[in-house]
Structure 1
Amino acid sequence: MTDTATHRTGRDVPTTTRAFLAQGGRSVRDEDAFVVRDVPLHPVRPHDLLVRVEAVSVNPVDTKTRQGLRSGTKQLGWDASGVVEAVGSEVTRFSVGDAVWYAGTLDRPGTNAELHLVDERLVGRRPATLDHAEAAALPLTGITAWETLFDRFRLTESSTGTLLVVGAPGGVGSVLVQLAKARTGLTVLGTAGRSESRDWVSSMGADHVVDHHDLVGGVRSVAPDGVDYVFTAHSAGNVTTFADLVRPFGQITAIDDPRGLDLYPLKRKSIAWHWELMFTRSAFGTPDMGEQGLLLDALADLVDAGRVRTTATSVVRGLDPAGLREAHRQVAGGTAIGKVVVAR
């Protein structure tokens, strides 16, 4: 650790931490799918916070990364809620003892550890009305939903029209429905299949819930003239359907990445296609990287005002190999509604 970091905490800062690592070549059913290791903590950078992690959530990207790990070990985890233990020399927004929430980056160790380093510009204050487990469900999905609505679509509180959320019961969809209703004038349609999924999407505030098995028929039954915006977590095989449902000059934002996607059917209506990846700002150190922390603060304000609620539906107690294995099992099943959280 840097001398500056030690000085600002008023005590020595650990140089290692216990981490919970995914092991390559293992099934989630294997007891050693995750193991405990002491790993080094890198020196605190000027903008870094050292956070004691109290809770994490498991996203589909976590399970896909673990499944693709053929050998060795990897420290997974992006979402986190915790308490600041130390700060770097140029930190201005946080102090030791602050409760924070955030989603990490692709190029640094993950949040599945007791202590974690993160750039303060990516961090927001934890909502005062949520505990750590409830808060850990929201950062990655909240950032993705926020950037979709307000950066990709450039919506405002005066925006009107119709938004179709494909994959509304999932982590991102659950937050996006709430944000669209809280901060825009859009009519929101969410897709779902099972009855419990439909109930969940309705509880998030969707104006209509349509069956994803008959997307065209379901949407046309409530929006005969089509929709203006589509958020999709399921693009493969749906581009022609979107071309049918989206009005001329409409917009689509996708978060999945099917290979060989053919967007030609969208041309006739001049439909815009956007990609959304919440890691882009941190991966490239963009000049506006700090917007990610600010939007988390704004999201915390909406949570504390009762306009957005946590999407945590399953909380596994025990931030350890057994707890992470159980959470990965639930998410990998593909039927989870909302978010699965692992907390101390």
Structure 2
Amino acid sequence: MKAVAVTPGLQVEDPRSFQDTERTVPIPGDRDLLVKIEAISVNPIDTKVRRRSPKTPSGSDVIGWDAAGTVVAIGKGVSHFTLGDHVYYAGSIQRPGANAEYHLVDERIAARMPQSLSFAEAAALPLTALTAWETLFHNFQLPLGLDSLDRTVLVGASAGGVGSMALQLARVLTNAQLIGTASRQESSAWAKSMGAHHVVDHRSSLIDQVHEVAPDGVTDIISSQATDLHFSEYAELLAPRGKITILDSPTSVNILELKGKSVSLHWENVFTRPVHQTSDMKVQGRILEDVARLVDSGLVRTTLRQEIAGINAANLRTAHEVLESGTQIGKLVLTGF
């Protein structure tokens, strides 16, 4: 089968960073689906893993976590899928990635993709939808409907993949006030289209801007990037007993800034359940089923913003360059081998 391999530790400009290659089609294990990949999406985790040295977490040089495709074989323990099902999923960072013609995924973390979407539109959703859902409803325990009227959520980098899904899910399923951050007119407009009630500029001081629309501060914060830069502002903005979820890997934050208000800090790693084979691992499949229903009901839409035809080394290099530029709005998807 065709696959795209990476050489960990190289910069994206290096021609050796991505290489077209041939690999053996994998054989499904007990709970595995063998999926013929139709579309893959690129996320910041892809660029981080590619830049790692000397190897990836899985030990494989094929990365990629976000895929949509068709089930072509199943393991003997599979009970929820049949051949021909169209599925979407994020996968596990400790297994070879989806930048290949065929890919294995545990059935418990996959779901049938929304019927109203193309493969490309569906591939844009899984990783960011799971991250947003786990943050909002597991970490923040945000109540559904009117019970969340007293909550104000600040969504950092709200025009990105996770931000876009967090805004949509919170807007549709709760009555929380939603404040996004963005730095350009285009990204601000996108965040508002995703559900933000207000958008503030994260290039300037957040405190005054947020207090203009939320005088009492915010109850919850999603920090997906630049946490080191904004952490002290977040600590000041958070209400007593508030919650913050961090997605990136800050190196210089002082968590004691949260102690006086009894603020709780959460980490969010979408791969925790599949990597550690937790007893509730199948929750991720159920989340994706719920997201599919919301999409097919017209309540949530794909965050696909840019589509590139052809899953190959050259196009993946281009996709990684776009992500590393920090200007991507929504999601970028590659389709077809």
Partner of 2:130: 143
What secondary structure sits across from 1:253 in the alignment?
A: strand
Q: Does 1:223 align with 2:214?
A: yes
Matches of 1:271 and 1:237 in 2, distance apart? Answer: 19
What secondary structure sits across from 2:229 in the alignment?
A: coil
Matches of 1:232 and 1:22 in 2, distance apart? Answer: 28
Matches of 1:182 and 1:153 in 2, distance apart? Answer: 16
Q: CA deviation at 1:293?
A: 0.4
Matches of 1:257 and 1:231 in 2, distance apart? Answer: 13
Gaps of 5+ in 1: 1-16
User: What TM-score, normalized by structure 2, do the two folds share?
Assistant: 0.94
Partner of 2:148: 159
Q: 1:251 aligns with which of 229, 243, 251?
A: 243
Q: CA deviation at 1:76?
A: 1.0
Contact 1:314 1:339 in 2 (8 A): yes
Identity of aligned residues (%): 46
Q: CA deviation at 1:107?
A: 1.2
Contact 1:239 1:266 in 2 (8 A): no
Partner of 1:270: 262
- Counterparts of 1:11-50 in structure 2, within 5 Å, are 17-24=1-8, 26-50=10-34
Flag the 1:271–1:92 CA change in 2: closer, same or farther, 3 A: same
Partner of 1:8: none
Contact 1:56 1:342 in 2 (8 A): yes
Contact 1:51 1:82 in 2 (8 A): yes
What secondary structure sits across from 2:228 in the alignment?
A: coil
Q: CA deviation at 1:217?
A: 1.2
Q: Does 1:80 align with 2:60?
A: no
Tell me the amino acid that sits aligned with residue 243 of structure 1.
A
Tell me the amino acid that sits aligned with residue 37 of structure 1.
T
Q: Does 1:59 align with 2:43?
A: yes
Tell me the amino acid that sits aligned with residue 176 of structure 1.
A
Q: 2:186 aligns with which of 196, 206, 223?
A: 196
What secondary structure sits across from 1:74 in the alignment?
A: coil
User: What TM-score, normalized by structure 1, do the two folds share?
Assistant: 0.92
Q: 1:182 aligns with which of 152, 158, 172?
A: 172
Q: CA deviation at 1:276?
A: 0.7
- Counterparts of 1:294-305 in structure 2, within 5 Å, are 294-305=286-297
Tell me the amino acid that sits aligned with residue 224 of structure 2.
A
Partner of 2:83: 96
- Indicate the larger mover: 22-31 or 33-42: 22-31
Q: Greater CA radius of gyration, 1 or 2?
A: 1
Tell me the amino acid that sits aligned with residue 228 of structure 1.
T
Tell me the amino acid that sits aligned with residue 34 of structure 2.
L
Contact 1:316 1:326 in 2 (8 A): no
Matches of 2:117 and 2:266 in 1, distance apart? Answer: 32
Contact 2:228 2:252 in 1 (8 A): no
Partner of 1:207: 197
Gaps of 5+ in 2: none
Q: CA deviation at 1:259?
A: 2.0
Q: Deviations over 1:113-149 (max 9, x none)?
A: 0000010000011101110111111100000000001
- Indicate the larger mover: 34-43 or 202-211: 34-43
